[in-house]
Amino acid sequence: MIRYGAISAILAFSIDRLSKWWFIDVYELPLKGTVEILPIFDVVMVWNRGVSFSFLSATTDFGRWALVVLNLVIVAILIYWLRSAKNTWVSGAIGIVIGGAFGNIYDRIKFGAVADFFQFHWENWYFAVFNVADSFIFVGAVLLILNSTLGTDAKAKEED
């Protein structure tokens, strides 16, 4: 199962890096500001110095490296969990969370902040700006929750 998780992590990390490279270096989003894609969806360059929704914003180098260490500890826990995964869904879900986390860790180390650029909005209501790594983390977490409530882990609990 470790192999499935590792492959998922590498794919998630690679897709995230590719998207950030394209938006920052090829499309030059930092120079363009906000670009409307749909009436409810824009791409906009935001450098997030915190974690989700800019919570725990790290404005100093100490804060930046503290978040890197915190993220690495979380990844280490996920890798430990991956070692005990019993099916491909769980190992793949853990893998994409790990890959997404490494994508954001890479940004924080290289740039000092995480590159975010997708934003949904409705009239004057703007939702958090996010990136591909955040999407992988979210999808992986949802898959893990579904597995624990509806999947093989839930069935194993019922049998006990």
Among candidates 139, 6, 146, which has minimal Cα distance to 78?
6
CA distance 117 to 45: 5
Instruction: Decide if 61 is catalytic.
Output: no
Helices (H), 84-114: 88-111
Asked whether the beta carbons of 117 and 43 are under 8 A apart, the reply is yes
How far apart (Å, rounded) are the C-alpha atoms in residues 117 and 119? Answer: 6
Helix (H, G, I), strand (E, B) or coil at 75: helix
* Beta bridge pairs of residue 120: 41
Write down the catalytic residue from 16, 42, 107, 134: 134
**Catalytic residue chosen out of the listed positions 25, 116, 153, 160:** 116
Active site residue 116: yes
Q: Give the active site residues.
A: 116, 134
